[in-house]
Each structure stands twice: as structure tokens, then as C-alpha cells.
Amino acid sequence: MEFCSLGSGSSGNAFIVKNNQTLLMVDCGFGLKETIDRLERYQIHPSKITAILLTHEHEDHIKGAFILANKFQIPIYLSYGTYQMSHKKINDGYKIKFELINNFDSFMIDNISVSPMPVPHDAREPLQYRFDYKDKSIAIITDLGKITKHVVQKLSRINLLVLEFNHDEEMLRDSDYPASLKKRINGEYGHLENKESLKLLASISHSDLAWVIAAHLSEKNNKIELVKKMIFEIVDKHKSNVGVIDQDLGLEWIST
Ligand SMILES: [Zn+2]
Ligand SMILES: [Zn+2]
């Protein structure tokens, strides 16, 4: 399987997982033109997208999803709660095929197996996803306030992990964000702080974890170099590769 990202952070998220036959887009948090332009960087024409999977209804994850799905007739997979919270944004006249997910059941999209994971986050029914094809696996985990046993279980023997490293606790504390926003980000239904992400990584790290990719970094309250250094300290003994997804530049194709 291969992975790339159009960008990740509070200004927009979109990730691609593909193999020789199937091309899945996870979230579409950029506007239509921006999405098409960013897809072009990776030689993807939108008509080649097999399906879009949405994680939750926050704007940085769904901004361009419906307009793209309608224009190129791409089915959207999402939880019932995400559908309920976002369907008012669907313009009259749009014809989109929605597939509601059973949150604890794996399912196939063409030849890729998709395993949804419910996560604690301040959305109605947020999910994150694991993908399996033959003996390779990719998981994308952003937007979770707390590590759960269920998520840890679902990440067993993963080969490529995209994980939220949202903020540095001290940088957030010392930032000029209002107290209510600090509380939301730091809360159990907010976002993972660097040290929490590292804890999760340490608990699932193994010798076949070829790639660890940090995502959804706060532009104000985190630093790419800091995150990279922290990850290397955990994964070095397994010689995993480390990447960070840039908000503007995204991340080039990586193979598992
Ligand atoms: Zn987000
Ligand atoms: Zn969110």
C-alpha cells in the first residue's frame, strides 16, 4: 500500500491510502480548488478516488468533501453521527451516495479492508481508521483527546502509523489562546499532546513499524523538529522511518 497527505493541521486535513486497484481519501478539509490542486501534486485525478472516508464533522476534515463527492460521484463513508451533524451543509441538488459505518465492524472497500475505531473527541460520533491489504497495514489517528484501550488494540502490528502530535503542553499553556480554548484542546475530548502521543507510540512500537508519521501539528503550539526528535528517541531501536506532515506541503508518497 502507499500513503500520502495533501496536508494536515487545523487549516485542513486530507490523507490518501492506495494500492494497485483502490484509492481511498480520508477526510477532505480543503476547498474544492485547493483539493484538486493538491491532488495534482501527487498525480491523482479526483475521478480516480474510489471512496472518501470521513472521521468527523469538524470543518478542517469535511470542508470540501461534499462538493468533491458530488462533482466526481465519489461515495462517502461516515458514522451516523457525523452524517447527522454535517448533512445540512449538503447543497440542494447534490447527489451523493452515503454509506453509514457500523463503528466496530471491519468492512471492505474494493480490496482494502477498513477497520473503524471510535475515539474520544468533541464531535458527535468520531471515528479513525485502520487499513489492511495482504500483509500490510496503515492506520491514521488524528483528533483524539485520550488514548483508549480500544485504539491501542486496533494498532497492533501496524506497518505505517499516522499519529496526531497536536501540541506541546508547555507551549500551549504559555500561548495567548483563551483559557476556554486551552481547556478544550487539552481536555479528554480534545487533541493529543506530544507526550501522550509518544506514550501511545511506545506501547505499540515493534520491529515491523516501518513508518511513523506525525500529523495535525498545531502551527502555534508545536515545532516539527521537536516532534521528530521525540519520535526518534522512541523508535530508534526499531529503525523506523519518521515523517511529519506539513500543513501547506503535505507529505509525498510513502510505500509500506
Ligand atoms: Zn482536526
Ligand atoms: Zn476535530
**10 Cα–ligand 2 center, Å:** 8
Using one digit for the tens of pLDDT, what is the confidence trace for 197-249? 999 999 998 889 999 999 999 999 999 999 999 999 888 777 899 999 999 99
CB contact at 8 A, 53 and 15? no
- DSSP assignment, residue 91? P
Spatial distance between the Cα atoms of 236 and 232, rounded to a whole number of angstroms: 5
169 alpha carbon to ligand 2 midpoint, in Å? Answer: 18
Q: What's the whole-number average pLDDT of the chain?
A: 95
Residue among 255, 40, 224, 253 at smallest CA distance from 138? 255
CATH code for the domain in which residue 181 is found: 3.60.15.10
Number of independent structural domains in the chain: 1
Predicted pLDDT of residue 241: 95
pLDDT at 221: 94
Ligand 1: distance of its center to the CA of 56 in Å? 9
Return phi, psi of residue 218, to 5°.
Answer: -70, 130
What is the pLDDT at residue 89? 87
CA of 72 to the centre of ligand 2 (A): 25
CA pair distance 174, 220, nearest whole angstrom = 11
1-30 pLDDT, tens digit per residue, is 999 999 999 999 999 999 999 999 999 999
Distance (Å) from CA 186 to ligand 1 centroid = 14
What is the share, in percent, of the chain residues with pLDDT greater than 90? Answer: 92
Q: Which positions ≥6 away from 134 have C-beta within 8 Å?
A: none
pLDDT on residue 214: 98
| 61 alpha carbon, closest ligand | 1
Range of the domain at 211: 2-255
pLDDT per residue over 144-201, tens digit each?
999 999 999 999 999 999 999 999 999 999 999 999 999 999 889 999 999 999 999 9
Cα 168 vs. chain centroid, distance in angstroms?
Answer: 19
Integer Cα distance of 240 and 234 in angstroms? 10
